[in-house]
Amino acid sequence: MLFASAYFATLFPMLIIDSVWLSIMASRLYRPTLGDMALEGVRWPPAIAFYLLYPAGLVILAVLPAVKSGHLMQAAFLGAVLGLSAYGTYDLTNHATLRLWTWQFTLVDMAWGTLLSAVAATIGAWVAGRVTGG
């Protein structure tokens, strides 16, 4: 029960917040930076896989420890660490290997991943704590 409530309480805010971000930033940051490397649409299977997998990592590594300790700041901190690590791995690897990848893009995307992960983990921990009586 705890994992399921934590998972969905993390997944839904992440989907909503990231959808808003991507709808605003796709034409302002992603397409101008990536040029014709960017698809016009979305490849749904890998996108769905990411949005199912990443919140599970947030739950295991940030949300559940925070629910068990009763400290929401722990969820925010651990979520931010995971976000910085995951988005940093992606962005820095691409920056090292792709010609069009810029420092501005790398830093903005890493900051976004850090913030998104911290917020989603915090919301997930807060809701899961309430649902499970913690």
Q: In terms of pLDDT, which residue wins out, 92 or 39?
A: 92
How far apart are the C-alpha atoms of 81 and 111, rounded to whole Å? Answer: 11
pLDDT band for position 85 (cuts 50, 70, 90):
very high
Which helix H or strand E contains 57, and what residues bound it? helix 44-58
Q: In terms of pLDDT, which residue wins out, 99 or 55?
A: 55
The predicted pLDDT at position 93 comes to 98
Mean pLDDT of 79-83: 98
The predicted pLDDT at position 62 comes to 98
The predicted pLDDT at position 116 comes to 98
The predicted pLDDT at position 111 comes to 98
- Give the amino acid at 18: D
Q: Is the pLDDT of residue 134 over 70?
A: no
What 3-state class would DSSP assign to 100?
coil
Please count the structural domains in the chain. Answer: 1
Mean pLDDT of the chain: 95
pLDDT digits (tens, 9 = 90+) for 23-64: 999 889 888 888 888 888 899 999 999 999 999 999 999 999
How far apart are the C-alpha atoms of 14 and 34, rounded to whole Å? Answer: 24
How far apart are the C-alpha atoms of 95 and 76, rounded to whole Å? Answer: 27
Which residue segment(s) compose the domain that 116 sits in? 2-131
Single pTM value for the model: 0.94
Tokens representing 81?
Answer: 């660490």
